[in-house]
Chains A and B, each alone.
Chain A
Amino acid sequence: MSLALQDTVSQPKLAGDRTHRARQLTWLLALGLVGAMLLSLAVGASGASLWDGVFDLAMGRELSLRDSIILFEIRLPRTIMGVLVGAALAVSGAVMQGLFRNPLADPGLVGVSAGAGLGAIIAIVLGGMLPAAIQAAVGYYLVPLAAFVGSWFTTILLYQISTRKGRTSVATMLLAGIALGALTGALSGMLVYMADDAQLRKLTFWGMGSLAGATWSKVLAASPLIVIALSVSPFLARGLNGLALGEAAASHMGIPVQITKNAAILMVAGATGAAVAVSGGIGFVGLVVPHLLRLLVGPDHKYLLLNSALLGAALLLLADVISRIIISPAELPIGIVTATLGGPFFLWILLRQRGLLDM
């Protein structure tokens, strides 16, 4: 790959073809993810044992109602949701950083987080004003639904603003995203002011994110979008590699720049919108996972995207396991765990490898 070569020339410390290493890492991460999934199924406040459960089922014995609910209605959907959300956030982060050629980019830049937050706040504060029939029909899915609609609405608005004559300006999108973020922030603030005590607490918890509310219906609702978005992402790899050289160079290389941009934005809005809707605001994963992998195996998106999905899923599951056992039987919101563990860790890497993060 020409890109990989360029990179190694400018950064001799990372010299050498790291394709082999990247492939090895993929296997390692896949193994790690399986381990994290097993851990997530096995660990919890109740001490219900996964092995006993599996053994009993294998022997054809019925599980007790309590154990079967803990294993199949609480831990299993939660684990699957953790995998989906972690992968969605990490891959979206990697795609955004590639698209914007900006190491700080995360899905928030296309308005997804701000829009989802606004949607959630509207649903929490004003949801009570909806006709009773609608309330009864959507039940407690109103908040995720509103978050999802909000994230798509802002993304599409932002895309419209920054696209002229069929060309999307990434720079406009970046700046308009900040402006739109400020606007949605102000609207959210207004609604927060109107909120009562109970709604405020609900809002606070939503913002901290959690996988605790994972149910099969949420998993089923979020998975089609996340799975489709994730399966599209490998096709973006070549385009994103090309875009790293700048739009003009990429289009000279024969890369369909506009299609790549459209696909990337749609992919991120779909994956993150669905992930944020079911799990609330979980920060940090989308920003740090891709950087970590670039340091380890280089910026080639061909490996970066898949590895990001695996590492994002595994890390989120581990954070979730910590969140449920650290103050058991109560639970710590996962956003707090990812930020407290991830922040210092990321800083440490930055200090150790100063200068290597310039993309």
Chain B
Amino acid sequence: MTKLHPFFWMQIALSFVVFCVIATSAIAEEKPSRIVSVGGSITEIIYALGEEGRLVARDTTSNYPAEANALPDVGYIRRLSPEGLLSVNPDLIIAREGSGPPETVELIREASINMVEIPHQFTAEGIVLKINLVADALGVPEKGKVLADKVAADLAAARAAVKADEPKRVLFILSMTGGNIMAAGDKTSAQALIELAGGVNALEGVEGFKPLTPEAVSLSNPDVILVMDREGDHEISKEDIVTHPALASTPAALNGALVKLDGMLMLGFSVRTAEAVTALSQALMSTGS
């Protein structure tokens, strides 16, 4: 074996050092600049952090703030198309937990595109965690801390204003197509919001969003009915409630206690949740009793 020139090793060592310096400085300076946001709540956080300039695309559920609609849409959160995602040349994908399908996620990882999954929890702590994780992924942890503190303080203030001595029974109705009521049970974002706003879920013993028999609806005996503020066919009006046989005799229908709130505001569990808590708790206090 020929003996290698001592300079050879020096060169190797030197170039390694240079490489390390370049690499670390590159990592330190180069924040991802082509970001895809998957999940409405994630997009709201990115806008609230003022980092929306780095977004190149969003998913179908990201429609707040309205400017987000101008970004290319890579598809529904659970049905992302792999080539659609790759086509916008992202260097970072921030996705809410549950984004998929798994085939797409696998291909994205294979293409060595960084994909960060953010847990989706329906609590105040969950929102703070979400904001911090998104900010970390964006490389702006300080901004994240400021926003998280503000959101936590807002939430605490909103919660402090809630009167919970006589909690109202609230039924969240997702849809009433053809008179069939689909409502929120346990472990739903809707129930979590109702509880934050000082109400109780009128529907017990059901998990998730379920179609209900008229008798179960009647039995839930809500004081207030909560729906998403939608237009057109999906709109649920006071008349629908009052004329529905299973609802007609409930306190909610008798008092005309129907509360409408924006869907994303209520169920997103993101930066605007304090606003949702305040709006709902005020609506609960002003209705009936």
Q: Using Cβ atoms and an 8 Å threshold, which residues of chain A touch B211?
A: 193
The contact sample of 12 A-B pairs, CB cut-off 8 A, is A66-B111, A74-B86, A75-B83, A140-B103, A193-B211, A197-B188, A198-B78, A201-B76, A212-B82, A329-B87, A330-B60, A331-B75
Given the complex of chains A and B, what is the CA–CA distance between A69 and B85 in angstroms? 12
Contact yes or no, A330 B103, CB < 8 A = no
- Say whether B98 contacts A69, CB under 8 Å: no
In whole angstroms, how far apart are the Cα atoms of A44 and B107 in the complex? Answer: 16
- Beta-carbon contacts under 8 Å, A32-58 to B: 44-48
Cross-interface CB contact of B103 among A44, A69, A215, cutoff 8 Å = A215
With both chains docked as a complex, state the minimum distance between the C-beta of B1 and any C-beta of chain A, in angstroms: 32
Give the nearest-CB partner of B59 in chain A.
Answer: A330
Q: Given that A193-B211, A329-B57, A329-B88 are known contacts, is A324 also in contact with B102, CB under 8 Å in the complex?
A: no
What are the residues of chain A within 8 A of B85 when measuring CB–CB? 329
- Which of A44, A73, A202 is within 8 Å of B78, CB to CB? A202
The residue in chain A whose Cβ has the minimal distance to the Cβ of B211 is A193
Q: What residues on A are CB-neighbors of B210 within 8 Å?
A: 193
Known: A140-B102, A212-B81. A44 touches B209 (CB 8 A): no
Q: Which B residues touch A45, using CB under 8 A?
A: 81, 83-84, 86-87
Taking a contact as CB atoms under 8 Å apart, the answer to whether A329 and B81 are in contact is yes
Q: Which residues of A contact B74 (CB under 8 A)?
A: 329-330
Residues of chain B contacted by A213 (CB below 8 angstroms):
101, 103-104
Q: Chain B: residues with CB nearer than 8 A to chain A? A: 57, 60, 72-76, 78-79, 81-89, 98, 101-104, 106-107, 110-112, 188, 207-211
- Tell whether, in the assembled complex, residue B84 and residue A331 are in contact, meaning their CB atoms are under 8 Å apart: yes
**Inter-chain contact B101/A46, CB cutoff 8 Å:** no
A355 at the interface (CB under 8 A from B): no
- Measured in the bound complex, the distance between the Cα atoms of B80 and A201 in whole Å is 13
Asked if A198 meets B98 with Cβ closer than 8 Å, knowing A45-B83, A69-B107, A70-B86, the reply is yes
Asked if A17 lies at the interface with its beta carbon under 8 angstroms from chain B, I say no
Query: How far, in angstroms, from A330 to B207 measured CA to CA in the complex?
Result: 31
The 8 closest A-B pairs by CB, nearest first: A329-B84, A330-B75, A46-B87, A196-B208, A45-B87, A331-B81, A140-B102, A45-B84
CB closest chain-B residue, reference A323: B81
Given A45-B84, A213-B103, A329-B87, 5 more A-B residue pairs with CB atoms under 8 Å apart are A197-B188, A201-B76, A215-B106, A328-B84, A329-B72
Q: How far, in angstroms, from A73 to B207 measured CA to CA in the complex?
A: 39
Q: A65-B112, A69-B111, A213-B101 are contacts. A330–B86 as well, Cβ < 8 Å?
A: no
Q: Is A205 an interface residue (CB 8 A)?
A: yes
Residues of A136-195 whose CB lies within 8 A of B: 139-140, 193
A48 partner residues in chain B, CB cutoff 8 A = 86
Cross-chain contact B75 with A44 (CB below 8 angstroms): no
Bound-state Cα–Cα, A44 to B72, Å: 15
Question: Chain A residues near B72 (CB, 8 Å)?
Answer: 329
A236, B107: Cα distance in complex, Å: 40
Chain B CB within 10 Å, residue with most, of A65, A193, A212, A215: A212
A196 touching B207 in the complex, CB below 8 Å, given contacts A73-B107, A329-B85: yes
Task: Output the least CB separation between A222 and chain B (Å).
Answer: 14
Give the docked Cα–Cα distance between A75 and B81 (Å): 12
Closest to A194 in B: B210
8 Å CB contact of A196 from B89, B107, B111, B209 = B209
Which of A193, A198, A213, A330 has the most B CB atoms < 10 Å from its CB?
A330
Measured CB to CB, the closest approach of chain A to B180, in angstroms, equals 11
- Residues of A close to B209: CB separation below 8 A: 196-197
Report yes or no: B87 in contact with A197, Cβ–Cβ below 8 A: no
Select which of A73, A205, A212, A328 is within 8 A of B87 by beta carbon: A328
Give chain B nearest CB distance to A128 CB in angstroms: 12
* Cα separation A193 to B209 with both chains bound (whole Å): 10
Cβ–Cβ < 8 Å partners of B98 in chain A: 198
- B79 to chain A: closest residue by CB: A205
- Chain B positions within 8 Å of A46 at CB level: 83-84, 86-87
Q: Is the CB of B110 within 8 A of A139?
A: no
